[in-house]
Amino acid sequence: MRSFIVSLLAGLSVSLACAQAAPEPAASAQQSAAPVGFVAPSAPQPDESNAQRAKTQPGNNAPFWRSVHESGVQHGVTNLPGAEKGVLIQPMVQYPGSRFTTAGEAWRQVRNQWIIPYGGSLIVITVLALALFYFSKGTLGGHEPYTGRLIERFTYFERAAHWCNAIAFSVLAISGLVMAFGKFLMQPVLGGTLFGWLTYALKTAHNFAGPLFAVSLLVVFFTFARDNLPNRHDLTWLLKGGGLFGGHEVPSERFNAGEKVVFWAGVFLLGFVVVASGLVLDQLLPGLAYLRGDMQIAHMIHAVATILMMVLFIGHIYMGTIGMKDAYRGMKTGMVDEGWAREHHELWYDDIKAGKIPAQRSTGASAGTAAATKPAAQH
Ligand code: HEM
């Protein structure tokens, strides 16, 4: 199977490479040096090296734009719609401490020299820190004996909202990471053609998953907001670091203070910034002109906020999978053992035991559900 996939990919890349290397007619070679849809009478004409490049790398407009940039030609005739019709490049400006350049070039440098290396390092540091934590502490939990009686932790609706959001997030995170870091990490391995196709497919997936993420995030926010409201127990939980280094977990209600931080910082604050800037990039917000400058600012905000969001949710995904015993089972089946509830959310368990919260809120029996409604055994 593996060798089949490898040979399929190899065959695809060879055939695409052959298609790329096929000789171009001289006329189309000249045209492909300029971008489709642009006619720039005052812009420099493609020279011999441009024409040569157009033959070997059709569609690569870099030489054309470099000469537009160098000659400072900003205006030409374009048949593209939009507020900046006729503008080939942004005006030349000089930012404090930098050379005379276009805003586009300044944006490119902020992206490539700040956001990519520092953002990438932050993600790698997060993953390494979690790996270190895992190898030193292992999976948390499992100290309280299970009773076999189950309590409903998440209703069907809560789980459906959560997983819609999580799937959309995963598609966005993977495609976003490839768009941001793939040129440096994957292109040298895959080659330009295969990487180009992959990025194009993932960029399209990103544009579609974005609105799904926005809607499901809103549903997740309203579904879980009430149980994430802060209370006095959260302060104790935070001051004691959740009891991580004390051997006993600090009692919490349905969600602990760590989960609440992820909720308010990740779902609410960063979620809002990421979705708003993403909708600008998708040109889905009404009433905006969508000038190049607007898009550059939206991109930088989007990139920084998504990196921070990924860092938070890498921690969340860790805790929801290998970091804590049976947490994933709760979100998968909706049910947790009484022992689990008592160990990780003792105040919530006490409220259920006291009858203040029903042990089952949705209809539809699953194994052990009936037992869950009975008072829990004392340990
Ligand atoms: C992609 C993989 C993900 C996995 C494996 C995962 C796993 C889990 C698990 C196991 C729980 C239950 C924790 C508990 O019982 O206390 C949970 C809760 C929750 N998850 Fe996720 N999750 C993922 C992604 C996301 C994303 C992308 C979001 C939102 C942007 C999110 C938002 C929440 C919320 C709001 C809760 C309820 C607890 C709280 O408010 O903190 N999850 N998740």
By C-alpha distance, which of 50, 60, 48, 56 is closest to 19? 56
Measured from the Cα of 336, ligand 1's closest atom is 15
Residue 92 in domain: no
Residue 29 in domain: no
Q: How many angstroms separate the alpha carbon of residue 247 from the centre of ligand 1?
A: 24
By C-alpha distance, which of 227, 235, 165, 172 is closest to 205? 172
Q: CATH number, domain at 186?
A: 1.20.950.20
Residue nearest to atom 42 of ligand 1 (CA): 166
Measured from the Cα of 167, ligand 1's closest atom is 1
Residue 181 in domain: yes
Angle, CA of 169, 171 and 319, to the nearest 5°: 45
pLDDT at 12: 34
Residue nearest to atom 30 of ligand 1 (CA): 267
Q: How many angstroms separate the alpha carbon of residue 311 from the centre of ligand 1?
A: 14
Residue nearest to atom 28 of ligand 1 (CA): 166
pTM passes above 0.85 = no
Give the pLDDT of the chain (379 residues) as one tens digit per residue.
344 333 433 333 333 333 333 333 333 333 334 444 444 444 455 556 667 766 777 777 777 777 777 777 777 777 777 778 888 888 777 777 777 778 888 899 999 999 999 999 999 999 999 999 999 999 999 999 999 999 999 999 999 999 999 999 999 999 999 999 999 999 999 999 999 999 999 999 999 999 999 999 999 999 999 999 999 999 999 999 999 887 789 999 999 999 999 999 999 999 999 999 999 999 999 989 889 899 999 999 999 999 999 999 999 999 999 999 999 999 999 999 999 999 999 999 999 999 999 888 887 645 444 444 444 433 3
Instruction: Give 140's strand partners.
Output: 324
Q: How many angstroms separate the alpha carbon of residue 43 from the centre of ligand 1?
A: 53
Q: How many angstroms separate the alpha carbon of residue 320 from the centre of ligand 1?
A: 7
Measured from the Cα of 260, ligand 1's closest atom is 41
Residue nearest to atom 22 of ligand 1 (CA): 317
Residue 283 in domain: yes
Beta carbons within 8 Å of 329's beta carbon, 6+ residues apart: 335, 336
pLDDT at 50: 64
Q: What tokens does 133 get?
A: 């934590």
Residues near ligand 1 (Cβ within 6 A): 153, 162, 165-166, 169-170, 217, 220, 224, 228, 255, 259, 262-263, 267, 313, 316-317, 320-321, 327-328, 330-331
Residue 258 in domain: yes
Q: How many angstroms separate the alpha carbon of residue 102 from the centre of ligand 1?
A: 43
Range of the domain at 236: 110-137+159-323
Q: What tokens does 92 get?
A: 């030349």
Q: Candidates 316, 319, 322, 325: which one to mutate for ligand 1, based on the most atoms within 8 Å of Cβ?
A: 316
Measured from the Cα of 324, ligand 1's closest atom is 10
The 3-state secondary structure of the chain, one letter per residue: CHHHHHHHHHHHHHHHHHHHHCCCCHHHHHHCCCCCCEECCCCCCCCHHHHHHHHHCCCCCHHHHHHHHHHCCCECEECCCCCCCCECCCCEEECCCCCEEEHHHHHHHHHHHHHHHHHHHHHHHHHHHHHHHHHHHCCECCCCCCCCCEEECCCHHHHHHHHHHHHHHHHHHHHHHHHHHHHHHCHHHHCHHHHHHHHHHHHHHHHHHHHHHHHHHHHHHHHHCHHHCCCHHHHHHHHCHHHCCCCCCCCCCCCCHHHHHHHHHHHHHHHHHHHHHHHHHCCCCCCCCCCHHHHHHHHHHHHHHHHHHHHHHHHHHHHHHHHECCHHHHHHHCEEEHHHHHHHCHHHHHHHHCCCCCCCCCCCCCCCHHHHCCCCCCC
Q: What are the φ and ψ backbone dihedral angles of 305, each rounded to 5 degrees?
A: -65, -40
Q: How many angstroms separate the alpha carbon of residue 234 from the centre of ligand 1?
A: 19
By C-alpha distance, which of 261, 213, 209, 204 is closest to 238? 261
Domain tally for the chain?
1
Residue 27 in domain: no
- Contact yes or no for 141/344 (Cβ under 8 A): yes
pLDDT at 364: 60
Measured from the Cα of 213, ligand 1's closest atom is 30
- Contact yes or no for 312/265 (Cβ under 8 A): yes
Measured from the Cα of 328, ligand 1's closest atom is 10
pLDDT at 62: 77
Q: How many angstroms separate the alpha carbon of residue 18 from the centre of ligand 1?
A: 46
Residue 41 in domain: no
Residue 57 in domain: no
Measured from the Cα of 262, ligand 1's closest atom is 41
